[in-house]
Amino acid sequence: MTLSGLIGGFVRRHWPAYASAAAMLAAIALLGVWLPRQVGAMVDGLVAQRLVGPALWREVAWLLAAGVVIYGLRVAWRIQLYATSYRLGVELRVRLYDRLMRQGPQFFQQRRTGDLMALATNDVDTVEMAAGEALLAGFDGTLTLALVVATMTLGVDWRLALVVLMPFPAMALAFWWISGHMHEASHQALSAFGALNDQVQESFSGVRTLRSLGLESRNATQFAGLAGRAADTSLSAQRWEAAYEPAVGLTLSTAVALSLGFGGWLVWHGQMTVGQLTSFGMYLGQLIWPMFAAGWVLSLVERGRAAWARLAPVLEAPLSVDDDGVHAAAPSGTIAWQQVGFTYPGQTEPALDGVSVTLEPGRTLGVVGPTGSGKSTLLKLLLRQWTPATGALHWGGVPLHELPVTALRRQVAWVAQEPFLFSASVAENIALARPDATRAQIEAAARLAAVHDDIAHLPQGYDTPVGERGITLSGGQRQRVAIARALLAEAPLLLLDDALSAVDTDTEARILAALRGQRRGRSVVVVSHRLSALVDADEIVVLRHGRLTERGTHAELLALGGWYATQWRVQQLEASLDAD
């Protein structure tokens, strides 16, 4: 969709507001055309001494009344216009947010967070201006220009009008040339702002890493370079925008000189009255606004086109995982990975190759293997963050791709190795999926996750703000708060993706014991590097290089004497050495 298509569709949906604003602008334009004609008639009346006394004051009163009406209408149309155009900004931001929330990891691997934030702020504002002020200013300027030129030509003197309008084609050519450069400069300015925004976002997110490595100076230098480029590109855009004004000024100056020269000649030869020349001069002055409006509108439109060229690909980008589910019912029953294969984009080695696993309701599945063996990928396919290249996934006999993504994920509580906490209180983070949960329910979940005692020692207990991304908590505390959040959600499927890596073995044992006692029919998938976390799992599968190489219970895998048994002996030895 083009920018004109976007704005056209918006105007059609909100035509009453635009029509009323246009009607007010038309009234302003008509009154503006009437005023110079009235002033000219008053000048001729004063020269002829016909307009004196009460008649003069009556005419003056009419002029003042027209000025008050014009002022009121100008305020009213601006209120009407901006109240409407802001809705477009809201619509675009809602569309952008909804689209981003439905995209998968593949999309975000190709986009920068800071640039996406810039799209939601700077670029949307620019499109909003094109849909609001540019549209109505263009209408106002065009209508005023048409009425003024028509009145100058038909109502005053067509010969003088033709002479005065001779410089205007040159101005139109200059506007066309400036607009092309304006579009390119605006696109570069918006892109530079996005890059700067991305640098700021990454610096704030990684501030502790930058400090720990002593990279503050280098990061500041990079930021200064991006800030300088953003300033330079913005200045370039402003220069091209400023170029409209000299073109308008030169054109109008030439037109005024032609008006005075030729108009004075007509008055000298008695072919025009002084009042008519006065009216013509006032009409010529009224052309200032349409000319400046043309430059302003072209500037806003070119900025809007550049912004929309950045926004449209994001809004129209296909979903990296299609949400084409047709089963409205919530999934339940057995989960099955059937000969699943998957390779990440840009990679040659498969992350999973012909993996088949079954998880019965209410049972626990353990997944282990070396780093990069495909353990987390197994969960990401289940969450539909990615789509299998081969094979299929079923939940309760229903192919996973036939389940709506939102319905699927409502049935799953997922705790990642690096959980995300929001800038809110501890209680609000735990109750994220159940905002109506009572404090007793929140504390019960925290006890199951073995984090209640840690929270109790915080300055404000459960009401303590955790800071952005949970920065005030340790890694183990963040993981346990995330586990408490997942337990409180009471989803039928719990996924723990190495979610206990930052806690000690004693705390891990307490959490796992609590999980065993509180499962209540909940299916659990535990991915872990610590084999001690999987001792009580109903089945354990071993992945190596994306292939399933071993499966069975803890005892069966030890008896098998393969990779699992070897890792178990190594970890038990490490634990005994740490205990000593």
Does residue 298 lie in a domain region?
yes
Q: CA-to-CA distance for 43 and 39, rounded, in angstroms?
A: 6
Does residue 74 lie in a domain region?
yes
Does residue 329 lie in a domain region?
no
What six digits make up the tokens of 136? 């109505």
Q: CA-to-CA distance for 500 and 479, rounded, in angstroms?
A: 7
Instruction: Select from 366, 363, 356 the least CA-distant residue to 333.
Output: 363
- Do 373 and 301 sit in the same domain of this protein? no
- Do 288 and 381 sit in the same domain of this protein? no
- Do 279 and 356 sit in the same domain of this protein? no
- Do 306 and 384 sit in the same domain of this protein? no
Does residue 321 lie in a domain region?
no
- Do 512 and 374 sit in the same domain of this protein? yes
Model pLDDT, residue 580: 52
The answer to whether the beta carbons of residues 535 and 366 sit under 8 Å apart is no
- Do 182 and 275 sit in the same domain of this protein? yes
* Residue partners of 337: CB distance under 8 A and separation at least 6: 355, 356, 357, 358, 378, 381, 382, 391, 393
- Do 289 and 425 sit in the same domain of this protein? no
Model pLDDT, residue 37: 66
Model pLDDT, residue 329: 66
CATH code assigned at 434: 3.40.50.300
Rounded average pLDDT per 10-residue block, the chain, 580 residues: 76 79 77 69 66 70 78 77 77 85 77 78 81 74 74 72 76 74 76 76 67 71 79 78 73 75 74 70 71 73 81 82 65 87 87 90 89 88 87 87 81 83 86 87 87 86 79 81 85 84 75 71 85 86 91 90 90 71
Model pLDDT, residue 357: 92
Model pLDDT, residue 40: 65
- Do 563 and 426 sit in the same domain of this protein? yes
Label each residue of 35-52 as H, E or C: HHHHHHHHHHHHHCCCCC
**Most distant CA pair in the chain, distance:** 121
- Residue 100 identity: L
Model pLDDT, residue 9: 79
Does residue 47 lie in a domain region?
yes
Does residue 328 lie in a domain region?
no
Structure-derived torsion over alpha carbons of residues 186, 187, 193, 198, reported in degrees to the nearest 10? 170
* Residue partners of 119: CB distance under 8 A and separation at least 6: 96, 194, 310, 311, 314
Place of tokens 């000219």: 40
Model pLDDT, residue 338: 92
Helix (H, G, I), strand (E, B) or coil at 368: strand
- Do 405 and 551 sit in the same domain of this protein? yes
Last residue of a domain, one of 315, 348, 375: 315
Indicate yes or no: pTM above 0.75. no
- Do 453 and 513 sit in the same domain of this protein? yes
Domain membership of residue 566 as a residue range: 335-579
Instruction: Select from 290, 273, 293 the least CA-distant residue to 39.
Output: 273
Does residue 222 lie in a domain region?
yes
- Do 339 and 249 sit in the same domain of this protein? no
CATH code assigned at 223: 1.20.1560.10
- Do 399 and 459 sit in the same domain of this protein? yes
How many domains does the chain divide into? 2
Does residue 546 lie in a domain region?
yes
